[in-house]
Chains A and B, each alone.
Chain A
Amino acid sequence: MPEAAYNYAYLDEQTKRMIRRAILKAVAVPGYQVPFGGREMPLPYGWGTGGIQVTAAVIGRNDTLKVIDQGADDTTNAVSIRSFFAKVADVATTTSTEEATIIQTRHRVPETPLRDGQILVFQVPIPEPLRMLEPREIETRLLHALTEYGVMQVSLYENIARHGRIAKTYNYPVMVNGRYIMSPSPIPKFDNPKLDRSPALQLYGAGREKRIYAVPPYTPVKSLDFDDHPFEIERWDECCALCGSRESFLDEMIVDDAGKRMYICSDTDWCGRRQ
């Protein structure tokens, strides 16, 4: 049972309605950042306050929640958010991607393909993809409103000029539904193709910046690139040392003082299932 001192799913009903309204608007305008009245949550900014508020607004007793941090179900952040909702929302939790109805994630999209009816909740540190190029909020909003995205392409040009290729590997900007440029949160660009026409609903919550945006199911999501420098994802020569996977995102681990390396899947659920 939920703790008596708190409302169901921690936030009060008015707050949840306000967040749901923001989510509905975000779903109606894919990729558009909707401001919302972000609340103080019992964890620090940068730990997923945006994601946790979105999850709290959409969760119900029949849901099954999975929380991952960098692909893993067993890291501190993932474990504490999972137990938080088990306590305040009285929901079943799981580590299985297939069984989950809501997956809150930081920095990864699960390897297992998502299906209809699932909700993927992203934790977002900086929702504005143009922020590093244009510090003024008024100006970035105007650029979005007028679809003036030359400056985003300038940053990719600069990347190629300096590194010989588009060296950006995470938080790689995408064009949603041919209209808004969106930050996919700091997921590796390896995961970008999974956002495109995904059957699952994608919700993005930024707690510190108080923005919510969304990609509805089956919405086209295109990673920006140049004709002669097309978008590419990371590849590894190695395979996962635990499950032998060649198609998943691999983490490099240093295993001794001599610098010996080992590559393993970042998605622990996927890796465990294959062993």
Chain B
Amino acid sequence: MSEAPLLSVQALTKRFGARVACRDVAFELWPGEVLGIVGESGSGKTTLLNCVAGRHAPEVGAVTYESAAYGLVDVHRLSEARRRLLGRTEWGFINQDARDGLRMTVSAGANIGERLMAVGARHYGDIRGTAQEWLQRVEIETDRLDDRPTTWSGGMRQRLQIARNLVSKPRLVLMDEPTGGLDVSVQARILDLLRGLVDTLQLSAVLVTHDLGVARLLTHRLMVMQGGRVVEEGLTDQVLDDPQHAYTQMLVASVLPV
């Protein structure tokens, strides 16, 4: 690991009217690290992720990111143009529902190629070749390249969304429940895939999930949120095997044994 964190969140507070969604959250993400954020529904996980991605502006606090192109930047002070450019080059965002992250009316190839075309790729053959390569990497048959994702299963859509995000070789991937709503065998394959990709591409990632199993498999470090606050954080195995906070103990205890 290098000396500087890739992403740093400082004293972040986000309110919606009188309701506080995130209260004084701070963390750092180091290159090559996967950080998990767990907690029950409504604990502020997704809001935190949206603040990090620059989609919501926090009332207090800052998000700084060590960009390859622009150096250290404050995400919320960047111009919108530059933030969006970062969003489709150095960052990836994987939504829980693949439909939110995909263009459902165009083919898989066009979905994967969009980021390339957005930064100026103008050779059809090359774009198509890259799309084909990525389809293979996410284990979809390459003869589905010209299919629209409307005809695909949820698991395939999710894999396509992953390919669409990773094609620009991002350094930071934000994932919001990437396996939510999928059946367990499909979940297992996606997790395997993600684990492999994070490893080979040296990705840093923030993974929001309510599924402790997913957190255990993918993440190095874990943050537990309750009511907008971080109540516990540490190495994943440590937090899950020896939970200190009462809420974490409750969470770990509520996993159903098979």
Contact = CB atoms under 8 A, between A and B. Distances in A.
Interface of A: 142, 146, 148-151, 153-155, 157-158, 160-162, 225-229
Interface in B117-141: 117-119, 122-125, 127-128
Contacts of B124: 157, 160, 226-229
Nearest to A132: B105
A154 B117 contact: yes
B114 interface: yes
A153 B117 contact: yes
A150 B115 contact: yes
B81 A146 contact: yes
Contacts of B88: 150
A155 B122 contact: no
A148 B110 CA distance: 16
A228 B110 contact: no
A226 B123 contact: yes
Decide if the interface of chain B is mainly helix, strand, loop or mixed: helix
Given A146-B84, A148-B84, A154 B123 contact: no
Interface in B202-235: none
A157 B109 contact: yes
A246 B128 CA distance: 36
Interface of B: 80-81, 84, 88, 103, 106-107, 109-110, 113-115, 117-119, 122-125, 127-128, 145-146
B123 A146 contact: no
Contact of A154 (B103, B128, B145): B103
A154 B81 contact: no
Contacts of A161: 107, 109-110, 128, 145-146
A160 B106 CA distance: 12
A160 B124 CA distance: 8
Contacts of B109: 157, 161
A158 B81 CA distance: 26
B123 A228 contact: yes
Given A146-B80, A150-B114, A153-B117, A158 B122 contact: no
22 contacts: A146-B80, A146-B81, A149-B118, A150-B114, A150-B115, A150-B118, A151-B114, A151-B118, A153-B117, A153-B118, A153-B122, A154-B103, A154-B110, A157-B106, A157-B109, A157-B124, A157-B127, A161-B109, A161-B110, A161-B146, A227-B122, A229-B124
Given A146-B81, A161-B146, A154 B114 contact: yes
A158 B117 contact: no
B113 A228 contact: no
Contacts of B122: 153, 225-227
Contacts of A142: 80
A142 B55 CA distance: 15
Contacts of B145: 161
Contacts of B125: 228
A158 B118 contact: no
Contacts of B107: 158, 161-162
Contacts of A150: 88, 114-115, 117-119
Contacts of A148: 84, 118
Contacts of A155: 106
Given A157-B110, A161-B145, A227-B122, 10 more contacts: A151-B114, A151-B118, A157-B109, A157-B124, A158-B107, A161-B109, A161-B128, A161-B146, A162-B146, A227-B124
A144 to B, nearest CB: 12
Contacts of A153: 117-118, 122
